[in-house]
Structure 1
């Protein structure tokens, strides 16, 4: 899956993956991360999610990574915030109070960009990746966050009915990529109230990933 796939989705406004409201599972389970006010949350493949405004309102610092400049421009417009925009190592970096977003290829990020992370909030990033990219995606996330705890939110549906993205996940899928680093606890399933690509009814699940004790 090439970067051009996601560029085209934003340019043609095929953004059904954009939720348009704060995620219910984030609201319900954020406390599972045991974060203090001022904690630093990393949101990979963040788009223009409403969850960022909610996290900021809770008193957290947020760093996001996003491929589409259109998504990030709209994110700050919806936040009614004029960002400071800088260039760094091939990224456009959008900054405002307690919020930094790197615009560019997630896979080229290093700890020079993303550091001192207290928790990861992955809503629809893991499930955006085909199986051929999940190893690279998860390894990068573990390295960038230094194995910080994660709240992972994604869909579970009958993949035989329709192909992704978004791709269906379950405990086994998550364990395949994260069990060597994290203990994995399934927290919740709720009816998503939607059908993937208008075909497959889906549950939305939430998992807590805690770093394994060394």
Structure 2
């Protein structure tokens, strides 16, 4: 199968940061991270990977738990803004295809996630994915997961937060289930625990659509399966 053009939206992402068009940025630590992180059972001194991290305050929260944190972010504007807001004075140096920003327990690799290698990240114990998956175009998500599995250890756990539209035919009063796409992407390699669902009515991303749409915010805990072929 031909790999999709994973970098086709890179220029658009960079422009969003230049224009300060970043309504997606949360001004507080994500509540689901605080609530569900302990369920992964990660040791305090473990290394945590945060893909597509932007200038998220979640990096600071993870570091405050004793973790060393490595994020990857395409926009240097976002990286600079993170350290400025945190009142940190990061060291900067070239690191392969990336610029590595470092301060305290936090490293941010500025560059394209699809250029990362396992040696760039080090021995990562867990991934915190705060809607990085669902921020990507659908045809890139398989490539995204394939890239993650190439660059993190087989035993790496995941806390995945998603923003999803309801499944076709699903009504508001039906029990929520693991989304078909999440199952198709992760079920072969991971045991999936849907830990939380919050259903909200929100404004559509398309400004021409005036009515509110139902959006499901979900928290998934992913534990790798111990299958020999997955550990090879």
2 CA distance for matches of 1:153 and 1:177?
14
| 3-state secondary structure, aligned to 1:73 | helix
- CA positional deviation for 1:190: 2.2
Contact 1:156 1:204 in 2 (8 A): yes
Contact 1:76 1:82 in 2 (8 A): yes
Aligned to 1:74: 81
* 1:208 equivalent in alignment to 2:216: no
- Give the ranges of 4+ consecutive aligned residues of structure 1 lying more than 3 Å apart after TM superposition: 191-196
Please list every run of 5 or more consecutive structure 2 residues that lacks an aligned counterpart in the other structure: 1-7, 169-176, 228-232
Stretch moving more, 170-179 or 92-101: 170-179
Q: 1:41 aligns with which of 48, 54, 60?
A: 48
Report the count of equivalent residues. 206
Structure 1 residues 49-85: Cα deviation after superposition (integer angstroms, max 9, x where no partner) = 0111111111111000000000000111111110000
2 CA distance for matches of 1:43 and 1:135?
18
* 1:98 equivalent in alignment to 2:105: yes
Larger Rg: 2
Aligned to 2:165: 157
- CA positional deviation for 1:184: 0.9
Aligned to 2:93: 86
Query: CA distance change for structure 1 residues 159 and 182 in 2, over 3 Å: closer, same or farther?
Result: closer
TM-score for both structures, normalised by structure 2: 0.83
Aligned to 2:115: 108
| CA-based RMSD | 1.9
Q: 2:62 aligns with which of 44, 55, 67?
A: 55
Within 5 A, what are the aligned runs for 1:163-202? 171-191=179-199, 194-197=202-205, 199-202=212-215
| 3-state secondary structure, aligned to 1:113 | helix
Structure 1 residues 6-31: Cα deviation after superposition (integer angstroms, max 9, x where no partner) = 10111111112111111111111001
Structure 1 residues 98-122: Cα deviation after superposition (integer angstroms, max 9, x where no partner) = 1111000100111120120000000
* 1:142 equivalent in alignment to 2:149: yes
| 3-state secondary structure, aligned to 2:88 | coil
Structure 1 residues 78-97: Cα deviation after superposition (integer angstroms, max 9, x where no partner) = 11110000001121100011
Please list every run of 5 or more consecutive structure 1 residues that lacks an aligned counterpart in the other structure: 161-168
